[in-house]
C-alpha cells in the first residue's frame, strides 16, 4: 500500500528541493509497506529504468537488466507499477513487465514430487505385503512337500519290506524246486541205468533218448516281465577250443559286442536283475522303434551267478530283452566280426514282455517306472521258468546288435 502525504509544514522557494523532500517521504512509506505489499513476481522484457515516482519526470534511481526478476508491490498507478529491486523501491512502466511462472512451476514440481513419493511409498508397502504373502505361501508349500516326502518315504519303506519278504519266499520256492529237480534227475538216471542193464542183459539197444527231466516252473517275479524258457543248445567243448575264454565282472559289457551303452542321467530308473546259482547271463536291452528294423540295443550287460545287477538311467521308451544263459563265456573273431557265446548249458531267448520306461505325469509329480527280474537255470541245465509262449533265438541272432 502506498501512502501519499501532503507537505505543508515546509515552505521552500526552490521547487526542486521540495520535490526531493517529497520523494524521501514517499520512499520511506513504500519501504515500510513492502512486507505487506509483495504479491507476485514479474520479469523485465527489456532494460528498465526504476524511477523515484510513477512518472517519467521522476529521477532514475536504478536500472534493471532485461530478464531480471522484480517483486511487484502494487500496480495501481496507471501505466506504472511500484516494485522492489534488490534493496531499492521504485516505479517502472507496467507494460515492460511480464509474468514470471518459475515460482508456480517450482510449486507444481514440488507437488508432483510429493505425489510421486507418496505413490512410491504405497507401491513399496504393497510390495512388502506381496512379499510377505509369497513367503507365507512358500513356507506352507515347503511344509506340505516335507509331509508328502515323509509319506512317500514310509510307503517306500513298506514296499521295500514287502519286496524283501516276497524275495525270501521266492528264494525258498526256488530251493524247493531245485531240490525236487535234483531228486527227479537222480530218479531218472537210476531208471536209465536200470534200462541199460536190462537191455544189455537181453542184447537190446537202449530205449532211453534223453536224461534231462522235465518238471514244474518257478514262480515268476513281480512286477517283472514274464520269463520264458528256451531249449538247451547242443554244444561240444571241441567246437570252442580255439575261442578265447573271457571272465567279466558283473555289470561289464563283453568286448565281443564292441558296444557303448546309451544313458539318460536325468532319469533315476532301473532294471534290477537277480541271477541265481546255476548260470551266468548276458542281458541285452533293446529300445523298440516304429518297426523291428528300427529297434536299437542300448545296453549289453554281463551278470555273474548269485549276483544282483542294476541297469540304471535308461532313456524313455518301450523295451524288450534278449538273454543268454550259461557258463564258460568265450569270444572269437570270424569274417572280421566278433562273436561271444556260452559253451556250457547255453540258452538264448527273446523276451515277449514289453518294459515301459516312459515317465508318467501324475497330480503328485512324475512317476518313473522301474522293474525287477529274476533269472536262473535249473541245476540240470534247464530253464527254471515255464515253457509257455516261448520265443527262442539262435546264438547268431543274440550276437547281432
CA distances from 181 to 174, 185, 226, 281 (A): 10, 6, 21, 21
Give the residue, 222 or 334, on which the prediction is more confident. 334
Q: Which helix (H) or strand (E) holds 310?
A: strand 308-312
Residue spans of the domains in the chain: they are 15-100, 115-215, 221-399
Q: Are 228 and 309 in contact (CB under 8 A)?
A: no
pLDDT tens sequence across 237-255: 577 888 999 999 999 999 8
Confidence at 199, pLDDT banded by 50, 70, 90 = low
The β-bridge partners of 74 are: 82
DSSP-based three-state secondary structure for 303: strand
Q: Which triple of cell numbers denotes residue 354?
A: 514289453
Q: Which triple of cell numbers denotes residue 365?
A: 509329480
pTM: 0.42
Please give the pLDDT value at position 129.
93
Please give the pLDDT value at position 200.
65
pLDDT tens sequence across 18-65: 444 344 444 434 443 443 444 567 776 678 889 999 998 999 999 888
Please give the pLDDT value at position 61.
92
Closest CA to 281 of 256, 318, 243, 251: 251
- Report how far residue 70's alpha carbon sits from residue 64's, in angstroms, rounded to the nearest whole number: 9
Please give the pLDDT value at position 1.
40
Confidence at 222, pLDDT banded by 50, 70, 90 = very low
Please give the pLDDT value at position 68.
85
pLDDT tens sequence across 100-109: 666 667 778 8
On average, the pLDDT of the chain sits at 77
Domain at 15-100: CATH code: 2.30.30.40
CA distances from 274 to 238, 285, 373 (A): 31, 15, 6
Amino acid at each position: 500500500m502506498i501512502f501519499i502525504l501532503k507537505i505543508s509544514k515546509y515552505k521552500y522557494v526552490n521547487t526542486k528541493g521540495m520535490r526531493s523532500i517529497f520523494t524521501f517521504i514517499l520512499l520511506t512509506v513504500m519501504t515500510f509497506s513492502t512486507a505487506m505489499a509483495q504479491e507476485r513476481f514479474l520479469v523485465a522484457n527489456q532494460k528498465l529504468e526504476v524511477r523515484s515516482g510513477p512518472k517519467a519526470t521522476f529521477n532514475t534511481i536504478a536500472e534493471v537488466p532485461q530478464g531480471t526478476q522484480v517483486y511487484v508491490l502494487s500496480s495501481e498507478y496507471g501505466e506504472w507499477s511500484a516494485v522492489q529491486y534488490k534493496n531499492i523501491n521504485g516505479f517502472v512502466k507496467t507494460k515492460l513487465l511480464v509474468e514470471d511462472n518459475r515460482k508456480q512451476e517450482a510449486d507444481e514440481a514440488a507437488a508432483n514430487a510429493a505425489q510421486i513419493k507418496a505413490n512410491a511409498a504405497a507401491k513399496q508397502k504393497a510390495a512388502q505385503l506381496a512379499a510377505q504373502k509369497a513367503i507365507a505361501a512358500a513356507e506352507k508349500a515347503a511344509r506340505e512337500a516335507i509331509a508328502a516326502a515323509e509319506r512317500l518315504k514310509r510307503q517306500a519303506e513298506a514296499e521295500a519290506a514287502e519286496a524283501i519278504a516276497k524275495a525270501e519266499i521266492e528264494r525258498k520256492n526256488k530251493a524247493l524246486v531245485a531240490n525236487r529237480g535234483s531228486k527227479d534227475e537222480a530218479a531218472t538216471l537210476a531208471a536209465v541205468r536200470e534200462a541199460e542193464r536190462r537191455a544189455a542183459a537181453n542184447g537190446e539197444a537202449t530205449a532211453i533218448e534223453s536224461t534231462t527231466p522235465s518238471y514244474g516252473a518257478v514262480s515268476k517275479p513281480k512286477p517283472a516281465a514274464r520269463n520264458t524258457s528256451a531249449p538247451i543248445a547242443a554244444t561240444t567243448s571241441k567246437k570252442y577250443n580255439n575261442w578265447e575264454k573271457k571272465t567279466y565282472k558283473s555289470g561289464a559289457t563283453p568286448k565281443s559286442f564292441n558296444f557303448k551303452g546309451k544313458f539318460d542321467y536325468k532319469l533315476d530308473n532301473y532294471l534290477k536283475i537277480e541271477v541265481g546259482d546255476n548260470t551266468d547271463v548276458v542281458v541285452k536291452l533293446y529300445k523298440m522303434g516304429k518297426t523291428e528294423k528300427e529297434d536299437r540295443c542300448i545296453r549289453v550287460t554281463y551278470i555273474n551267478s548269485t549276483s544282483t545287477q542294476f541297469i540304471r538311467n535308461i532313456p524313455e521308451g518301450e523295451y524288450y530283452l534278449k538273454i543268454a544263459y550259461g557258463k564258460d563265456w568265450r569270444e572269437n573273431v570270424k569274417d572280421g566280426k566278433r562273436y561271444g557265446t556260452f559253451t556250457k548249458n547255453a540258452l538264448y531267448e527273446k523276451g515277449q514282455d514289453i518294459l515301459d520306461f516312459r515317465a508318467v505325469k501324475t497330480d503328485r509329480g512324475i512317476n518313473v517306472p522301474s522293474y525287477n527280474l529274476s533269472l536262473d537255470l535249473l541245476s540240470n541245465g534247464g530253464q527254471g521258468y515255464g515253457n509257455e509262449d516261448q520265443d527262442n533265438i539262435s546264438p547268431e541272432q543274440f550276437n547281432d546288435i
